[in-house]
Amino acid sequence: MAKQGVASMLALALLLGAFATIPTGVHAIGVCYGVNGDNLPSASDVVQLYRSNGINQMRIYFPDTNALNALSGSNIGVIMDVPNSALSSLASDPSAAATWVQSNVQAFPGVNFKYIAVGNEVSGGDTNSILPAMKNVNSALANAGLGNIKVSTAVQSGVTQGFPPSQGSFSQGYMGPIAQYLQSTGAPLLCNVYPYFSYTGNEAQIDLSYALFTSPGTVVQDGGNAYQNLFDALVDTFVSALENAGAGNVGVVVSESGWPSAGGDAATPGNAQTYNQNLINHVGQGTPKRPGSIETYIFAMFNEDQKPGAETERHFGLFNPDKSPAYPINFS
């Protein structure tokens, strides 16, 4: 879920920014499905809403039985999280990981699982459990004949440091071994990327247009790479961090990105629509360091009025609980 802590991370995107030509026919967009709200549609209605809008990928934040049953047979690609609260037990006990996989993955053979996210933006002492839990879950999947499902963890931009993007590195010691493990398994790193929080944390030096993909030209020239928007700069900082950790072959999946429509600075329906539509249109072309489609999940499907934290957290939805669009978006 979105975190304001992302803001302080990179005083990286200094200056203003710009946006390049937008390709069509993007097939790399998913949407995160959170359930911390009142009067949300049934899971079966949610899956139908995804399908009717041509959204072919979903992230869920725990093994939600209702969602998994509704997803069965839909062929929607799924990221499913291991909740942070479960990391310690899965890290310390391979049999607990095997039971988790049996109950939450093997029990739903009709679901198109793509990735298991072992923790989301884990912090504090729990970070010591990420890698052993990943290893145990990966082994449990392999033993169940499900080695095609990749195991990773979802991190926010605060685990990186450095500007310009080519100078990116991991600021947290636990990330190097995780990156090297991902390189050994072929799984991507799941990255939560929020230009919104970078902008609101440094409005004096970051132009809103840089965050919204709407500036007219290159702003940050980083060697041979020209950065016209903050999203690309944040993603490529992760790419450089992976390279500097000896894991340059690890892919990046943007497991969350979005913009709130209310509740804070620059949080308007117009800005949210501009950001998310431009994101959808942009990710098919990739970043300067990684041209090509970037698999990206918008946060989030619904405005969730029960989400804790800052007011903006309750206004990231593309849709209202009655399934009406919060603002117009074209997913094709």
Task: Report the pLDDT value the prediction gives residue 28, as an integer from 0 to 100.
Answer: 83
**How many angstroms separate the Cα of 208 from the Cα of each of 215, 217, 267, 290, 311?**
9, 14, 11, 24, 20
**How many angstroms separate the Cα of 162 from the Cα of each of 77, 170, 201, 206?**
33, 9, 16, 16
The 3-state DSSP class for residue 255 equals strand
Hey, which CATH number is domain 29-319, 3.40.1280.10, 3.50.50.60, 3.20.20.80, 3.90.1150.10?
A: 3.20.20.80
The 3-state DSSP class for residue 122 equals coil
What does the alpha-carbon distance between residue 111 and residue 127 come to, in Å, rounded to a whole number? 29
Nearest to 320 by CA among 302, 305, 304: 302
pLDDT in tens, 177-199: 999 999 999 999 999 999 999 99
pLDDT in tens, 81-107: 999 999 999 999 999 999 999 999 999
What does the alpha-carbon distance between residue 258 and residue 268 come to, in Å, rounded to a whole number? 12
Sort residue 326 into left (φ over 0), alpha (ψ -120 to 50) or beta: alpha
Beta bridge partners of 206: 15
Beta bridge partners of 319: 302, 325
Question: Which strand (E) or helix (H) includes residue 151?
Answer: strand 150-156
User: Are 117 and 154 spatial neighbours (Cβ–Cβ below 8 Å)?
Assistant: yes
Q: Give, for all 332 residues of the chain, the pLDDT tens digit.
A: 544 444 333 433 333 333 233 333 345 899 999 999 999 999 999 999 999 999 999 999 999 999 999 999 999 999 999 999 999 999 999 999 999 999 999 999 999 999 999 999 999 999 999 999 999 999 999 999 999 999 999 999 999 999 999 999 999 999 999 999 999 999 999 999 999 999 999 999 999 999 999 999 999 999 999 999 999 999 999 999 999 999 999 999 999 999 999 999 999 999 999 999 999 999 999 999 999 999 999 999 999 999 999 999 999 999 999 999 999 999 98
The 3-state DSSP class for residue 196 equals helix
User: Are 261 and 267 spatial neighbours (Cβ–Cβ below 8 Å)?
Assistant: yes
What does the alpha-carbon distance between residue 138 and residue 146 come to, in Å, rounded to a whole number? 9
Domain-by-domain residue ranges, the chain? Answer: 29-319
Location of structure tokens 């020239």: 221
Sort residue 286 into left (φ over 0), alpha (ψ -120 to 50) or beta: left
User: Are 225 and 239 spatial neighbours (Cβ–Cβ below 8 Å)?
Assistant: no
Nearest to 201 by CA among 1, 70, 11: 11
Q: What percent of the chain has pLDDT over 90?
A: 91
Task: Report the pLDDT value the prediction gives residue 4, as an integer from 0 to 100.
Answer: 44
**How many angstroms separate the Cα of 324 from the Cα of each of 11, 59, 304?**
37, 20, 14
CA dihedral 290, 180, 176, 191 (to 10 degrees): 40
Nearest to 35 by CA among 1, 69, 4, 5: 1
* Phi, psi for residue 154 in degrees, rounded to 5: -105, 125
Task: Report the pLDDT value the prediction gives residue 27, as an integer from 0 to 100.
Answer: 58
Full-model pTM: 0.93
Task: Report the pLDDT value the prediction gives residue 23, as an integer from 0 to 100.
Answer: 34
What does the alpha-carbon distance between residue 256 and residue 252 come to, in Å, rounded to a whole number? 12
Task: Report the pLDDT value the prediction gives residue 1, as an integer from 0 to 100.
Answer: 53
Task: Report the pLDDT value the prediction gives residue 332, as an integer from 0 to 100.
Answer: 83
Looking at 256, 295, 304, 313, which residue is catalytic?
256
User: Are 87 and 134 spatial neighbours (Cβ–Cβ below 8 Å)?
Assistant: no
304 is catalytic: no
* Helix and strand numbers, DSSP H then E, in the chain: 11, 12
pLDDT in tens, 125-160: 999 999 999 999 999 999 999 999 999 999 999 999
Looking at 121, 295, 304, 313, which residue is catalytic?
121
